[in-house]
Amino acid sequence: MNEQLERELIKKVKKDPYSLKYIKEQTEAICLAAVKQNGHALSYVKNKTEELCLAAVKQNGYAIHDVKNQTTEICLAAVEEDGNSLQYINDQTEEICLRAVNENGLALKYVKNQTERICLEAVERDIYALPYVKHQTEKICLAAVKQDGLSLLRVKNQTEKICLEAVKETTYALRLVKDKTEKIYLESFKDNLDAAFLVNINERNVVLIMLNSSLQHKNKNKEILTKIIKKFNKDREVVDFYTKYNLWKYVDFSKVKLNNELIKHSIIL
């Protein structure tokens, strides 16, 4: 092929890479120009050299699907361009999988042999990769909830340690906790007593934890304290707590009836 014709064909494939399939006499330069524009044009290359395959996957990782001789270099280049191209890689090494999930955490779903290291990398990259983890270790789950406490929803086995980290990240994770221990409640109410809106304050033990937390962390919420006494206005221990620690000043009495003798007596005292 003369140089002028080759230059014209290079211009042509640069405009339309798929026109390569109509070129009978393909040179390396023509093919290279085509795959650099669109990696999928590799499917029309007659002589797929390593250089052409590498150029193709660098442009579009999915081009690995048309590579027969998948070298480590080509595979790494493919997943670095698009982690999901891992699904077309025949020999998945840990290094290749790590690069894939680092580019896209959700590529974890295509990993054939999941290790904790790979899963951890995937979850740290994208918390939505957690459902694709076949064996959720505490370490992996902790990595997820530390980024987003609400990812507790996708944790199969909730431990107290995982739940504590989840509510530390966001108090809204409290509603997702299956076994709410006193330690978890205290952590939730520590910085934000508004977390009380996420639990059932009909439970007396929870209310007492809330009140102790409000004192310990000097976190008073008028709306919450009013709501509690309105519900437990006949509970002597709760009423005495308000009196002992002078919490009545945080109560909105327009919402609490004073016809209860226990409350009237406590306020007078």
Judge contact between 12 and 19, C-beta under 8 A.
yes
Distance (Å, rounded) from C-alpha 160 to C-alpha 182? Answer: 10
Judge contact between 79 and 98, C-beta under 8 A.
no
Residue 205 has pLDDT above 60, yes or no: yes
Give which of 36, 63, 67 is closest to 50, Cα–Cα.
67
Q: For residue 86, what pLDDT is reported?
A: 98
Per-residue CA distances from 203 to 133, 137, 190, 199, 231 (Å): 36, 33, 19, 9, 10
Per-residue CA distances from 217 to 186, 187, 188, 192, 221 (Å): 10, 11, 12, 9, 12
Quickly state the pLDDT bin for 10 (edges 50, 70, 90): very high
Distance (Å, rounded) from C-alpha 251 to C-alpha 260? Answer: 15
List the Cα angle 241/186/221 in 5-degree steps. 55
Residue with more model confidence, 210 or 104: 104
Predicted TM-score (pTM) of the model is 0.77
Least confident of 136-140, 205-209, 213-217, 237-241: 213-217
Could you tell me the two tokens for 31?
């093919």
Distance (Å, rounded) from C-alpha 146 to C-alpha 166? Answer: 6
Q: How many residues does the chain have?
A: 269
Read off the pLDDT of residues 46-67 as tens digits, 9 standing for 90 and up.
Answer: 999 999 999 999 999 999 999 9
Residue 269 has pLDDT above 60, yes or no: no
Read off the pLDDT of residues 136-188 as tens digits, 9 standing for 90 and up.
Answer: 999 999 999 999 999 999 999 999 999 999 999 998 898 899 988 888 887 87
Beta carbons within 8 Å of 84's beta carbon, 6+ residues apart:
61, 62, 100, 104, 106, 107, 110
One-character DSSP codes across 107-120: GGGG-SS--HHHHH
